Amino acid sequence: MLSTVPSPPPLSETDVLAALAPEGGRHEAVGDVTDTAVRIMLAAADAFAERGFHATTTRDIASRAGLSPAGVYVHFASKEVLLFELSRRGHSRARDLLVAAAQAAPTPTDALRAMVGGFSRWHAEHYELGRIVQFEFRHLRPEHRDEVLHLRKEIDHVVAGVLREGVATGEFEVVDIPGTALALLSMAIDVARWYTPDVRRTPEGIEETYGELAVRLVRAA
């Protein structure tokens, strides 16, 4: 169901790149930007995820990308624009995953399992981009925050929609649909906070566990 997400080797570059690229391909899959711009985005993603937006310096990003500090500004107008690009692409990718999982499943139960499982797995496999998406949001400038907020609302809406369908078919019993959607997303989002490749759990195991927990949370008694 979520097989459009490739399973890349545990290299940070490939990992973040896979999360940024809609087709899961190589550099040209990011498509609308140059090779150097991609390198800068990958460098910034590493740095932001590791140290946070404000603790990351432009020199840090530049050196990771193999450029001088000035070289970054040919491609991005500011450090905040770089955060915005990562945030926007990451949110889009996460939303696309959820929508694809919802559409591919035959029943609301299967859809919910695939969505929460897949979303949780994504936040583990791509925990660097996941952290940026979920935890650096408030450091965007207001106009950029507003744009990303639309994507966040779409994500909430997809989950709530599946819950409503499940209630309609009688598969689910949900007292508070938006509240439950929020709690389900919280479980998955929080994975990005605690997951690292050093941890004993695997993204696949997380997908399995969290998908089942989601179904337990809403299934009719």
Binding site for DNA (CB under 7 A): 34, 36, 56-59, 66-71, 73-75, 77-80
> Closest separation between CB of residue 127 and its own copies, Å?
13
Q: Which of DNA, its own copies, none binds 59 (CB below 5-8 Å, type-dependent)?
A: DNA
Question: What does the DSSP assignment read for 83-131?
Answer: HHHHHHHHHHHHHHHHHHHHHH-SSHHHHHHHHHHHHHHHHHHTHHHHH
**Residues 40-79 as x/- pattern, contact with its own copies by CB under 8 A:** ------------x-xx------------------------
Cβ-based nearer residue to DNA, 68 or 107? 68
Cβ-based nearer residue to DNA, 44 or 184? 44
Helix axes 127-135, 108-125, angle to 10 degrees: 100
The three-state secondary structure class of 54 is: coil
Torsion-angle region of 24 (φ positive above 0: left; ψ -120 to 50: alpha; else: beta): left
Place of tokens 């711009």: 37
Report the 10 Å Cβ neighbour count for 98.
25
Q: Which residues contact 189 (CB under 8 A, 6 or more apart)?
A: 123, 130, 134
Cβ-based nearer residue to its own copies, 9 or 142? 142
Q: Which stretch binds its own copies (CB under 8 A): 38-46, 81-89, 134-142, 164-172?
A: 134-142
User: Residues interacting with its own copies, by CB under 8 A?
Assistant: 52, 54-55, 134-135, 138-139, 175-176, 179-180, 182-183, 186-187, 189-191, 193-194, 201, 209-210, 212-213, 216-218
